[in-house]
Chains A and B, each alone.
Chain A
Amino acid sequence: MSRFARPHWVEKMSSGMAKPLIGEISAALDTLAATGVAGAIDLSGLPLTATDRAELEVALGSGEVEAKVTAAGTSEIRETGFAGVWWVRHFDAGGRVLAEILEIAFVPQLLGAQGDDIDAAARRLRTELARTPERETGRETVHAD
């Protein structure tokens, strides 16, 4: 998954990077619990080996939520075994991982509807509602035929 391709024997090595990362996640989780301030760690910029990644995945485990977002390609959001720690992966059309982020938040940013999108949706729904009577009339006409 990493952007850093390495020979197989290197991928089998553990660089020990999982442990300090877990320390960082733990500090961010403490902050979230105490202050409500969310944090994020960009995994795509780190030279993790496959073994480092596996160690991190095993340590974090899996939680109760899995979600797929389709916006400019797909994104996968998984809650880890630690509430508030989310594993977010953004893919391109060919399935390549473009960015991989650990979000420490109540709800991952991408999952929540965005304010401007909600405004637009509300406008659209009002317009739809305004059109509804015409449609019903149309349907009745079809029934009558």
Chain B
Amino acid sequence: MSSTAHPTPVARPRSKGGPTPTLTHLRGATATRARELIALYPEPRSALIPLCHLAQEQEGWLSPEIMVDIAALLDLTPAEVLGTASFYDMLHTEPVGSHLVSVCTNIACLLNGAMELLEHAESTLGVNAGGTTADGAVTLEEAECLAGCDGAPCVQVNHRYVGAQTAESFDQLIADLRSGARAAEIPTHGTLNRVARTTGLQADRNQVANERSAMAETQAQRAAAAKDTAANKAGA
């Protein structure tokens, strides 16, 4: 879990603002997407992580201001949003560079030179793992297993797999990221705006619940009838 100090969220009482609170930082299409996402869940709070991802798609990180908007949308306090977000490695409560470069050093990658690659990355980028280059182009992080262990040492950029890296290919990768040569293949952070859900919920929850209760009742009646039959047989 992230161990860095968190910015203090802007104090604000729990929103009682009804279904359409005024948003100050989540903008246009992103705000619309946020409301669509909330509608997918039985409880609004379930949309907290998706909304944090959305906010990062817009801002690059979770600023205190944007957490206020998320809180308002979910009828939570900003502290509840921060307290949850800070648990998760992918949710950044401090600014990150435009490319998040994650180098896995877990077991399969360790066995294939990941520590050496990470050291190389730190020295060529001039930052320690966790740091961001002065030009804001790259944030380097030491990652746990990224489930890409057959391409070890495994590297992701903005959570896109870029294949096993050597020191040389890593330098080329960084140069390409800086020049924008791989922008098409490695988009900015996040997926929720890129491939959006096209339908809302279709199976109305109450209707489904009624159907299920009716079915359960029929089943119970059938079971009772079967019991009666069995009892009659036994009695006969």
The answer to whether A and B come from one shared complex is: no
